[in-house]
Amino acid sequence: MMSEFVLIKPSFEYLEQIKAYREEFANCLDWLHGAQGLKRFEEPQDWLSYLALCENDATVPEGEHKYSQFIYVRMADKKIVGMIGVRHKPVGPLETWGGHVGYSVSPSERMKGYATQMLHEVLPYCKSLGLNRVLLTAGDENVGSVKTIIANGGILESYVMSPKHHVMVGRYWITLPD
């Protein structure tokens, strides 16, 4: 039942879970989408400090963009099953192939509908930022992500090459309700 899950900002309470989430991705070949910078930080508390900088216009690190991070927690065991992040205004190449929202689900927790629910739950936050629609991108080989985006109202606009991942990605727009 999805009501057992909550989308929240990462905090010191979840340091061990953040570390475990990062480590689970280290043991697979998958990208750690929707967790801006987590791969660069060995220590979760350093990542939390970085995220705090990214949430404030005055402190966003050079070359970065304003960003809000969320974790998707199963309350029964306090496990982070997914992460989702929102770029307030993608700039540069991210306007083309990155988009507003990125997400990932822990490899051990996939195929349970968590990505679809996380995306659904973060869309009102996107609306609160003043966005009327959001861009998400996914390669056709990532069937789960494409299905997640479409299930949340995503409409395919076009395909572009992602220079970061060296694959063609579909650009999907989700119009946010009033």
pLDDT in tens, 14-58: 999 999 999 988 877 667 788 888 988 999 999 999 999 999 999
For the cut 60, the answer to whether the pLDDT of residue 1 exceeds it is no
Q: Is the separation of the CB atoms in 38 and 18 below 8 Å?
A: yes
For the cut 70, the answer to whether the pLDDT of residue 3 exceeds it is no
CA angle 76, 82, 87 (to 5 degrees): 135
pLDDT in tens, 52-101: 999 999 999 988 889 999 999 999 999 999 999 999 988 777 777 888 99
- Domain limits of the chain? 2-175
Query: Under CATH, to which class is 2-175 assigned?
Result: alpha beta
Nearest one of 33, 9, 38 to 144, comparing CA atoms: 33
Q: State whether residue 173 is helix, strand or coil.
A: strand
pTM of the model: 0.92
Report pLDDT for 44.
95
Q: Is the separation of the CB atoms in 35 and 104 below 8 Å?
A: yes
pLDDT in tens, 105-149: 999 999 999 999 999 999 999 999 999 999 999 999 889 999 999
**What DSSP designation does 110 have?**
-
